[in-house]
Amino acid sequence: MAVELVYETHATTIDNEAGIATGWLPGRLSELGRRQAAELGERRRAGGFAAVYTSDLHRAVETARIAFPDGRPPIHQDVRLRECDYGDLNGAPVPRIAAQRARRIDEPFPGGQSYRQVLAATDLFLHDLAARWNGRRILVIAHSANRWALDCLLTGASMEDLVEAPPAWRPGWHYTLPAGWRPSAR
């Protein structure tokens, strides 16, 4: 049986509004972000999810807790769902990070990680998800680098294309983790 995966990006943060790339810093939701998180809960509450998985970074956890204040479905934090670690550039202006994305696919940010390392962590997460939640529907709340990794692993998209022209935000992406899943790209 397959695992149905619905992915949502964490809600808008104070850093997002200021043009800051938070990276591995915790981040806090803005007033707009708190409203978006509540809307995410309204949109997804009746979705039949067995569980919600979030990054362990504060902005993703805060989004999940606002969306599902009663803890149902159960919320699980997973370090493998963290945003790319920009290392020395955590908290840098977004244009500075964007200018380096293409060369950071395989080469880590100074003191941080590469997008390929995010892809590898997401791959491990998916293998555990498939083993634990076979035949179930799961909601994931994380970051843009994780969505790119899901696109690479589950649809065969190219990381090079994704970092060059990131897809626009929308309220959720749907993926299927088929039975016997093996990643389609690395």
Give me the amino acid identity at 73: P
Task: Kindly provide the b/e burial profile for residues 69-83, where b requires at least 16 CB atoms within 10 angstroms of the residue's own CB.
Answer: eeeebebeebebbbb
Name the residue among 43, 39, 21 with its Cα closest to residue 143. 21
Residue 85 has pLDDT above 60, yes or no: yes
Following CA atoms 67, 132, 24, 99 in sequence, which dihedral angle do they give, to the nearest 10 degrees?
A: -100
Cα–Cα distance for residue pair 89/37, rounded to 1 Å: 27
Residue listed under structure tokens 């009746």: 46
Residue 179 has pLDDT above 90, yes or no: no
Cα–Cα distance for residue pair 86/68, rounded to 1 Å: 29
Token pair listed for 70: 């009663």
Of the pLDDT bands very low, low, confident and very high (cuts 50, 70, 90), residue 182 is: low
Asked if 79 and 125 count as a contact pair (C-beta separation under 8 A), the reply is no
Of the pLDDT bands very low, low, confident and very high (cuts 50, 70, 90), residue 183 is: low
DSSP assignment of 145-177, as one string?
HHHHHHHHHHH---HHHHHHSPPPP-S-EEEEE
Of the pLDDT bands very low, low, confident and very high (cuts 50, 70, 90), residue 139 is: very high
pLDDT given for residue 165 in this prediction: 82
Average pLDDT over residues 113-139: 94
Compute and round to an integer the Cα radius of gyration of the chain.
16
pLDDT given for residue 131 in this prediction: 87
Residue 170 has pLDDT above 90, yes or no: no
pLDDT given for residue 186 in this prediction: 45
pLDDT given for residue 50 in this prediction: 97
Cα–Cα distance for residue pair 47/104, rounded to 1 Å: 36
